[in-house]
């Protein structure tokens, strides 16, 4: 897929289609149902300092044109990941990006310190859509100062590229994007899910065990495209776009809006091989448009 090769944050990806965090487990679980070597990269399930059990069930609800989830960032913890998962992943050529989260700035730093010993990781993606328990529950993603604190703390701990995954649950994305860039981010990815609520009218209770959940899937795509465009206009670092991508044309739209790569999430719940299909469809789109390389699409939106 030479037409699809892209360089991002110093990393050479065979194509710009990545599996999104939280939708592809630790990658290895999908080896029997998808060709992991056919996609550009896998953003691994979010990792924390210690194992987390997650939220009570039910955790998923299929909505009109989308999905609500409230998994609660269940994971085995960074140390167990290094022992149990990463050794199995090294045989694949797809790039591995560790998603990192925490509930205080030092949590992010500690997870990265642990993962620094992990051979085979290409980059980190910081999930900042978490409440800072030391600052009264204020979300890192909603406050430029808190966001800058996390990014700058992690920045000095690693030479690996640092991607910051932004939340759409803000009034304006531009100041948040700039804060991430100014604090040392090598790229940003967006959008994460929209806080939502599904109700069972007969029981008069939420459809999810934890009440609120995050909405993803095709329903959010137009909003995600708008925010990717706005963020790409506000920063000079690369943008990775996600939100409702189902096919190659969807992926092309995100690139045109300003993204240099894309992540595929919710669609993988229906078919785990979706990311590799999207890569093939994107290559066909590039050929049809007579482009030498997929990067020629990036930032070509005419408004």
Q: Provide the annotated active-site residues.
A: 130
Helices 274-288 and 248-257: crossing angle, nearest 10°?
70
How far is residue 240's CA from residue 64's CA, in Å, rounded to a whole number?
25
Q: Are 212 and 246 in contact (CB under 8 A)?
A: no
- Look at residues 13, 21, 11 and name the one whose alpha carbon lies nearest to residue 165: 21
Residue 20, token pair as written in the block: 């999104």
Q: Going by C-beta distance under 8 Å and a sequence separation of 6 or more, which residues neighbour residue 167?
A: 128, 129, 139, 141, 142, 190, 191, 192
Residue 222, token pair as written in the block: 């137009």
What H or E segment, with its residue span, contains residue 115?
Answer: helix 105-115
The alpha carbon dihedral of 237, 181, 161, 261 has a sign of negative
Q: Are 260 and 239 in contact (CB under 8 A)?
A: yes
- Range list of β-strands (E), 184-235: 187-190, 194-196, 199-200, 205-206, 213-216
The torsion region of residue 272 among left (phi > 0), alpha (psi -120 to 50) and beta comes to: alpha
Pairing of strands 95-100, 66-69: unpaired
């Amino acid at each position: 897929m030479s037409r699809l090769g892209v360089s991002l944050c110093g990393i050479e990806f065979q194509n710009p289609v990545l599996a999104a965090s939280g939708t592809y487990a630790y990658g290895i679980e999908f080896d029997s149902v998808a060709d992991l070597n056919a996609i550009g990269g896998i953003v691994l399930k979010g990792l924390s300092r210690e194992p987390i059990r997650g939220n009570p069930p039910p955790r998923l609800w299929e909505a009109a044109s989308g999905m609500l989830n409230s998994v609660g960032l269940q994971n085995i913890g960074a140390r167990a990941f290094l022992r149990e998962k990463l050794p199995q992943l090294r045989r694949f050529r797809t790039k591995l990006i560790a998603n990192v989260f925490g509930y205080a700035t030092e949590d992010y730093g500690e997870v990265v310190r642990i993962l620094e010993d992990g051979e085979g990781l290409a980059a980190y993606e910081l999930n900042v859509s978490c409440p800072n328990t030391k600052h009264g529950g204020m979300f890192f993603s909603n406050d430029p100062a808190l966001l800058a604190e996390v990014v700058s703390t992690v920045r000095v701990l690693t030479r690996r590229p640092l991607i910051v995954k932004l939340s759409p649950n803000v009034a304006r994305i531009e100041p948040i994007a700039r804060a991430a860039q100014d604090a040392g981010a090598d790229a940003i990815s967006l959008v994460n899910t929209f806080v939502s609520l599904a109700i069972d009218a007969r029981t008069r209770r939420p459809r999810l065990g934890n009440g609120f959940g995050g909405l993803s899937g095709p329903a959010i795509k137009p909003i995600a495209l708008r925010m990717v465009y706005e963020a790409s206009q506000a920063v000079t670092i690369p943008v990775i776009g996600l939100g409702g991508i189902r096919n190659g044309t969807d992926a092309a739209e995100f690139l045109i809006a300003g993204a240099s790569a894309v992540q595929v999430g919710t669609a993988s719940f229906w078919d785990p091989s979706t990311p590799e299909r999207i890569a093939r469809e994107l290559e066909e789109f590039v050929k049809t448009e007579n482009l030498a390389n997929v990067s020629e699409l990036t930032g070509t939106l005419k408004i």
